[in-house]
Structure 1
């Protein structure tokens, strides 16, 4: 392969990605940028490709011959919101291992709420023997808000486990075992009929703050809330109020408006909330490197790349 690829991430393992890309694309010159300031050794004119997660402002301008930017993950909101994006093809990772990891995490969250585990944890802390009769999965209505690649995988895994799964998306989707609806006109009815809500929407101008106090109030009293998408899709203050009042009985939150979650956030101290540090699904170098190599070959051959992002649309 001609040219070089620059890797930037302050949180991912650069040498691990370097090794995976060397195996998937022999001959590709992979250069790891300094996570502190984004500087990289070698002639910037050699760089044709960038694999990045939240690089510093102005990072892309250093590479005059850039042809492809790969976002280091499935969520691209942080990338497309920038005002310094180059006019080149931009792609996201679409790794089946990421989808399986997300589906398994969502299944864990749903099962935790469906089987009343937080109730038993509280009873244990209080040294009380507390029995709650289990319900079958088919009696429990789970709503998946967002049926993109990861949302669809999670919804179908829940359906395979026997849950009564409903899905909402911006445009029409058809998934085996999932009752689907679409469009803003259908959102209120979808929320009102959901016992366990799983938020899996991308963050776009249309979805930012979508789950505000009015929409959260549409959930049945005692509903359970799971967010594995982006924190800014939810009005966090409104969610805290709903949790404090009991309108939303429990929540599992993997994402937040500000990350890391500030120590002063009330969410840390709420015994009906489980906080996890944005780990529901992560990119796996060994499996994702192959699709990155494929897209580099497509660029070199003048073909259309796969999993292309439309910055104007936000995903």
Structure 2
């Protein structure tokens, strides 16, 4: 039996994904009609990017699932016409590995104090070795697939790793916390804080002025998660006062970050243009194909979104 798969994303994404998806579906044993243009009433699965022109899911009465190409679902989860099961992208081969590498690199950058040697216009001879990883506390807010993988890597490097999640997840050799009291405990005295929470009403401005006051003075904020996790005014104030020594930010409330935004010119801010990690077409195509195979076999879908929680 042939299943009809609608690819609903921008043209550039189709050009990148068409061949990998066809190959992945074939390898999964799924006979599929894959197209960017199918009658709504014939569609069995929608492969979807939230920046697609498709915003009304009501006509897709036969669709068994919407399979998101992105890890983030905040741009789709609240759509009232979306009644089909929604799966987010969890790509451990590509997306997760890329995030682990980016987070580990920037944690080590700040831990080792590399900036002082990379940018040293006065040629200062700074004979001061950094402490060992075991003497640093790194707190990760968000212990989903990405946060847990980053935590595990940092543990292997010897850091004291704390983790906080709303659901109270556990990661081996990580001091895990939950709830408001747990958040304060996780942040208290942290040298480096990594933000990998989803964007939901409950996580907006989680890094408030109060939260920023809890970390070790001169500590570092690293945000490859979502822009709204940070109260921007509070962070700028904490940077100016020295409470936060540096912020490395990959995501923002408005993207691209406006050229006149204070982050660009601030000497204690590093801006990276939402490149911490991305979905890799080959591995993501295999994730999509596996979910379609599962749907046709009557097996549970992977990575289903909890609509109430928002992720």
Partner of 1:121: 118
Q: In the superposition, relative to structure 1, how do residues 62 and 120 fare at CA in structure 2: closer, same or farther (>3 Å)?
A: farther
Contact 2:177 2:185 in 1 (8 A): no
Contact 1:143 1:166 in 2 (8 A): yes
Where does structure 2 lack aligned partners over 5 or more consecutive residues? none
| Separation of aligned partners in 2, 1:99 and 1:214 | 30
Measured after TM superposition, the shift of residue 271 of structure 1 is 2.0
- Following superposition, which runs of at least 4 residues in structure 1 exceed 4 angstroms of deviation? none
Measured after TM superposition, the shift of residue 196 of structure 1 is 0.4
- Can you list the C-alpha shifts for 1:155-196, whole angstroms capped at 9, x where unaligned? 000011111111111233322221212222111121113110
Measured after TM superposition, the shift of residue 6 of structure 1 is 2.1
Partner of 1:146: 142
| Separation of aligned partners in 2, 1:181 and 1:119 | 34
Contact 2:9 2:53 in 1 (8 A): no
Measured after TM superposition, the shift of residue 141 of structure 1 is 0.8
Is residue 2:73 matched to residue 1:69? no
Partner of 1:30: 34
Contact 2:143 2:196 in 1 (8 A): yes
One of 86, 89, 93 as aligned partner of 1:90: 86
For 1:211-290, what aligned pairs fall within 5 Å after superposition? 211-290=207-286
Is residue 2:4 matched to residue 1:8? no
Measured after TM superposition, the shift of residue 5 of structure 1 is 1.8
Tell me how large the CA RMSD over aligned residues is. 1.9
Q: In the superposition, relative to structure 1, how do residues 2 and 118 fare at CA in structure 2: closer, same or farther (>3 Å)?
A: same
Measured after TM superposition, the shift of residue 314 of structure 1 is 0.4
One of 152, 167, 172 as aligned partner of 1:156: 152
- Corresponding residue pairs, total: 305
Contact 2:163 2:176 in 1 (8 A): yes
For 1:44-55, what aligned pairs fall within 5 Å after superposition? 44-54=40-50, 55=52
- Normalised by the length of structure 2, the TM-score is 0.92
Instruction: Return 72-81 or 222-231, whichever deviates more.
Output: 72-81
Measured after TM superposition, the shift of residue 48 of structure 1 is 1.8
Contact 1:3 1:46 in 2 (8 A): no
Q: In the superposition, relative to structure 1, how do residues 6 and 132 fare at CA in structure 2: closer, same or farther (>3 Å)?
A: farther
Contact 1:57 1:84 in 2 (8 A): no
Contact 2:69 2:284 in 1 (8 A): no
3-state DSSP class of the match of 1:197? strand
Where does structure 1 lack aligned partners over 5 or more consecutive residues? 33-40
Measured after TM superposition, the shift of residue 2 of structure 1 is 2.5
| Separation of aligned partners in 2, 1:217 and 1:195 | 12
Measured after TM superposition, the shift of residue 12 of structure 1 is 5.5
- Can you list the C-alpha shifts for 1:172-223, whole angstroms capped at 9, x where unaligned? 3322221212222111121113110001111112111221111111112101
3-state DSSP class of the match of 1:105? helix
| Separation of aligned partners in 1, 2:222 and 2:126 | 24
For 1:99-114, what aligned pairs fall within 5 Å after superposition? 99-114=96-111
- Normalised by the length of structure 1, the TM-score is 0.90
| Separation of aligned partners in 1, 2:110 and 2:141 | 17
| Separation of aligned partners in 1, 2:55 and 2:97 | 35
